[in-house]
Amino acid sequence: MDEKTEELRDLFMDVTDEATVTESQSDERGSLAETDEGAIDDRLSAVVERMRDRYEFDTELPTEALTQVVRGFYDGDDDATIASTIDADPNTVFRARMDLHLLDDADTDFPFEFAALREHRDGDPDVPDLAESLDTDPATVARALRVVTTQEQIRRVSHRFQSEFEDAIPDAALSVHLTESAKEDGLDEAAEDIETNTQF
């Protein structure tokens, strides 16, 4: 018992006239940092499975690998790093992240304005022609179109699946790199679809 504890005990005894004081248990309480990794993976897997039921995934990665993609994303790993952990290539990880609604700032960083891409993507755009009009290459356009599609899916469900991933992972909100620019792009599109009625 340290000096401060002894002082508090003496004060308590003086005030209550009690001859004895029951000391608190000495067992250390658990830390909030202590987590059940298996339970986290189970929750993430459940979200992944619900998304697979709702959407047609672009990749054929198993649920376990997709769960590792989620983990890596929220750990701040890039696609190459995540790819090495699941024995895949970075492009497959990118496609998996799009399936899982996991966007970061780099995903919206292209050598052209996204607004210009949206203007030309109505219907079924010809990627080579679109690349020429945007003065870039077809691979870049195809990647950008995939990002735009993912943004639209995220907007339609109000970031629901992202929120579920973040709820499952402790401190995920502190490490999220779903940046403001990625969110704002989705919000801008959402605002365009809102009809405001000010007549009473």
Cα 6 from Cα 11, distance rounded (Å): 9
Could you tell me which residue, 20 or 101, shows the higher pLDDT? 101
The DSSP secondary-structure symbol of 1 reads -
Could you tell me which residue, 184 or 99, shows the higher pLDDT? 99
pLDDT for 12 beyond 50: yes
pLDDT for res 119: 73
Q: Which region, left, alpha or beta, applies to residue 168 given φ > 0 means left and ψ of -120 to 50 means alpha?
A: alpha
| pLDDT, tens digit (0-9, with 9 covering 90-100), for 128-144 | 988 998 899 999 999 99
The secondary structure element, H or E, covering residue 197 is none
Could you tell me which residue, 180 or 58, shows the higher pLDDT? 58
